[in-house]
Homo-oligomer: A and B are copies of this chain.
């Protein structure tokens, strides 16, 4: 048994509980690999887990965060997918490889890193090779670490489920991590992107990433603006990231037979909407909680092929975790990443 330096907490509640400690990792055996962490990408969910537990059966000391990139530095004798030196990224739901998701109607699947399973904020981990994918060749570790949750969520919504194609009209709500991945993935497929935000400055930054139309939510009803920009056609895809009563607006915005992907933090939220457009336009409304490893591998191929570079608002050092977590509440433009 070896040890590794890690961020950990003994109780849910104030972030002040967090401290740097020492974890234990097993010897590498069987189909396990040891990975040296290089970067961890933070999600808003990580704060919610730390502060409320989100009803999850956390094990203490609890290591937070779900998404990392690193390098394989040892492999067990039964490992077939990796070799030492391979650059890898974690998977958000390690048990979901492809196809139908795990879990039942009563007990929906939510067995993820940094929640049900221990998180990634440690310098080394030893885990089954099945829990990792190869990192893109064209990204550095910080960029690669943003793919497992934020990147895959947008990809799963638009590509795996949504079969996005060139010429499609895509509404992206806001400029957080999933939203900007949605923007970039849509552009990589030749789609037309309408991005909404309450900040003119963020809209300008989104324009630099390729957004075709900037819709300032403070300058009139955004759905009306979309109607005018599209000759009433609406949007083939809506990435509905805001949650809550906003679903009604998304249903107005969506084109006939279009698709709304509902994404977001869900603790305690309700969706509500008038039912008429849901019936008359027959859109698909689908909740998305990340996706499976096969789709992550598809996305990695796409990132390398298209040169997509994830938008990182700021990089922090390992010791700056508290500052990085604070950044999450200030509405980052894209992702916040810890570099080891």
Interface residues of A (CB under 8 A from B): 97-110, 159, 163-168, 185, 188-192, 226-227, 230-235, 243-244, 252-258, 262-264, 266-267, 269-289, 292, 294, 298-306
Contacts and interface: CB of A to CB of B under 8 A. Distances in A.
A105 B287 contact: no
A105 B257 CA distance: 10
Contacts of A244: 275
A286 B294 contact: no
Q: Which of A102, A244, A278, A289 is most buried by chain B, counting CB atoms within 10 A of its CB?
A: A278
Given A159-B166, A234-B105, A256-B100, A266 B271 contact: no
B105 A292 contact: no
B101 A234 contact: no
A248 to B, nearest CB: 8
A165 B271 contact: no
A252 B104 CA distance: 10
A169 B321 CA distance: 40
Contacts of A264: 275, 279
Contacts of A106: 227, 232, 234
A276 B270 CA distance: 8
Nearest to A272: B272
A225 to B, nearest CB: 12
A337 B304 CA distance: 37
Contact of A275 (B189, B243, B277, B280): B243
Contacts of A267: 276
Contact of A109 (B108, B185, B256): B256
A189 B168 CA distance: 11
Nearest to A306: B190
A165 B166 contact: no
A167 B266 contact: no
A166 B192 contact: no
B252 A294 contact: no
A301 to B, nearest CB: 3
Nearest to A274: B270
A244 B262 CA distance: 19
Contacts of A253: 105
Contacts of A167: 298-306
Nearest to A235: B105
27 contacts: A97-B99, A98-B98, A99-B292, A101-B256, A103-B280, A105-B230, A105-B255, A105-B258, A105-B281, A107-B232, A108-B256, A109-B280, A164-B165, A167-B298, A188-B189, A190-B306, A262-B279, A263-B279, A266-B276, A271-B273, A272-B272, A272-B273, A278-B287, A279-B287, A279-B288, A280-B287, A283-B286
Q: Which of A226, A257, A267, A294 is most buried by chain B, counting CB atoms within 10 A of its CB?
A: A257
Contacts of A270: 272-275
Q: Which of A272, A301, A304 is most buried by chain B, counting CB atoms within 10 A of its CB?
A: A301
B105 A252 contact: yes
A278 B264 CA distance: 11
